[in-house]
Amino acid sequence: MERKGTETGLAAMAASYEKFDPAAYLQYNYTPPRADFERKDSVVPWKLACLHRAFNEADVSGELLVDIGSGPTIYQVLSGCEVFSKVLLTDFLEVNRQELRHWLQDDGGCNLDWTPYLQHVCKLEGRRPSECALKAAKLRQVITDILPIDVHQSQPLAKDALPSGGADCLVSCFCLESVSPDLSAFTRALGNIGGLLRPGGHLLLIGALGESYYFGGPDVRIPVVPLTEAQVCESLKEKGYTLIRLEVYTLPEDMKVGVDDVTGVFFAKARKN
């Protein structure tokens, strides 16, 4: 009975994404005020700073970085592309994979100009913002593929997608809680993606706190597991990760723009046991 309920919940989640609109989602979440690079309390600069710090710590290293549930965004690998020689992007939705391909092919079909993001990360790295074109070229060079993924499968990627030893690092932002019908499914998904990671490899996880829904397009309301910090920590521990660091961002009132009910964002750095 429990399995049937789980399957029903996952099917309902998949159905809620059928009308997902990448252009609208990017407009809602990746433009000001949430992506105001002049404000220290804006959420997007906070996320980029967390990722920059983590990717520049000596213990995060190796050859292959896999982004789990990229969505239509690339910001989450802008720092990682300087550390890893291969970057693999993944998403469940073809519309998101197509958005990523537009950026990768530089064909002018993107729904968001990522230049301000590239410039900001260049600043974090101590480089001139004018070097952002070089950073974009570097990222395009190291992205090896854009693949379908299903984090609710015990084998989320195709069998031959990764080396036998697994990835050296995973990054995942606002994916697992946004595609899981409940906390148990979120925790199982953490375990599933862990199977893609080599022992001792790192998971860099960003997600929403206290969020029960978000809009993936006009009138496209998508349910989310409303997580707490304690639940994130317990789920990581249950699925064989050692938590190294947890950081929390609390959303200012003017960042609550009506496209979700998120109250905060967490960043977790963890190591696979």
CATH number of the domain within which 38 lies? 3.40.50.150
Question: 1 pLDDT band (50/70/90 cuts)?
Answer: very low
By CB atoms closer than 10 A (0-12, 13-18, 19+), residue 191 is middle
pLDDT in tens, 171-181: 999 999 999 99
Neighbours of 179 (CB within 10 A): 24
29 is annotated as contributing to ligand binding: no
Question: What was the pLDDT predicted at 2?
Answer: 45
The per-residue pLDDT of the chain, averaged, comes to 95
212 is annotated as contributing to ligand binding: no
69 is annotated as contributing to ligand binding: yes
Number of domains in the chain: 1
Q: Quote the domain boundaries for residue 68.
A: 1-272
pLDDT above 60: residue 185: yes
Phi-psi region of 11 (alpha: psi -120 to 50; beta: other; left: phi over 0): alpha
Question: What was the pLDDT predicted at 163?
Answer: 94
118 and 132 Cβ atoms separated by less than 8 Å: yes
pLDDT above 90: residue 40: no
28 is annotated as contributing to ligand binding: no
pLDDT in tens, 97-115: 999 999 999 999 999 999 9
Neighbours of 250 (CB within 10 A): 12
Question: 5 pLDDT band (50/70/90 cuts)?
Answer: low
194 is annotated as contributing to ligand binding: no
pLDDT above 60: residue 20: yes
Question: 6 pLDDT band (50/70/90 cuts)?
Answer: low
By CB atoms closer than 10 A (0-12, 13-18, 19+), residue 18 is exposed
Run of H or E residues at 48: helix 43-55
Question: What was the pLDDT predicted at 4?
Answer: 54
Question: What was the pLDDT predicted at 104?
Answer: 97
Beta 167-173 vs 197-209: how paired, if at all? parallel
91 is annotated as contributing to ligand binding: yes
Question: 8 pLDDT band (50/70/90 cuts)?
Answer: confident
The Cα–Cα gap between 223 and 179 comes to 8
Neighbours of 122 (CB within 10 A): 19
pLDDT in tens, 192-217: 999 999 999 999 999 999 999 999 99
β-strand partners of 60: none
Overall average pLDDT of the 142-170 stretch = 96
**E-only strand ranges, 12-155:** 64-67, 86-91, 143-148
pLDDT above 70: residue 3: no
SS3 of 149, please? Answer: coil
75 is annotated as contributing to ligand binding: yes
This prediction has a pTM of 0.96
Question: What was the pLDDT predicted at 106?
Answer: 95
